[in-house]
Amino acid sequence: MTKINIKVVASEGAVLPVYKTAGAAGADICALLKEPVIIESGKSAMIPTGLFFEIPEGYEVQIRPRSGLAAKNGVTVLNTPGTIDSDYRGEINVILINLGNKPFTVNNGERIAQMLIAPVIQGDFSVVENLEKTERGSGGFGSTGV
């Protein structure tokens, strides 16, 4: 288990991330709103959480959609997965987009996304004249079948 220090705007009612089951990979994170936010169909909104993370070097936090919101309302995280780098110390905000057919209301304390903690491996980039050949080669989208 990796320790993540969290500063919480408790005075305003921010909620700590919570794993809902023992086997859950993602911890739910909640909205911290002074008033409900209505996201019209086809529109997006930045939703604050009142949470500030201190992520250890060598890790990231990924923000991902909640399947229930997506399946029932067509609401998902716009930049999924959103990456929070270990050197970021600002408030965690979630960009939600409403892909459903009707307006969606986000209420204070509502579970809006889930977060996963993942290790990060940085690349050591080298410029070369040629790349090793593979069977696939430069075949791109759909080149291996549908």
pLDDT of residue 146: 67
Tell me if residue 119 falls in helix, strand or coil.
Answer: strand
Q: pLDDT value at position 11?
A: 74
Q: Return the residue matching tokens 């290790």.
A: 119
Distance CA 113, CA 95 (A): 10
- Quick check: 80 and 116 in contact, CB under 8 A? no
Biggest alpha carbon–alpha carbon distance for the chain: 59
Q: Are 9 and 45 in contact (CB under 8 A)?
A: no
Phi/psi of residue 113, nearest 5 degrees: -165, 180
What sign does the CA torsion over 109, 113, 119, 120 have? negative
Q: What is the pLDDT of residue 35?
A: 96
Place of tokens 């977060």: 115
Q: Specify the pLDDT at position 140.
A: 77
Residues 93, 110 contacting (CB under 8 angstroms): no
Q: Residues of the chain whose pLDDT is less than 50?
A: none
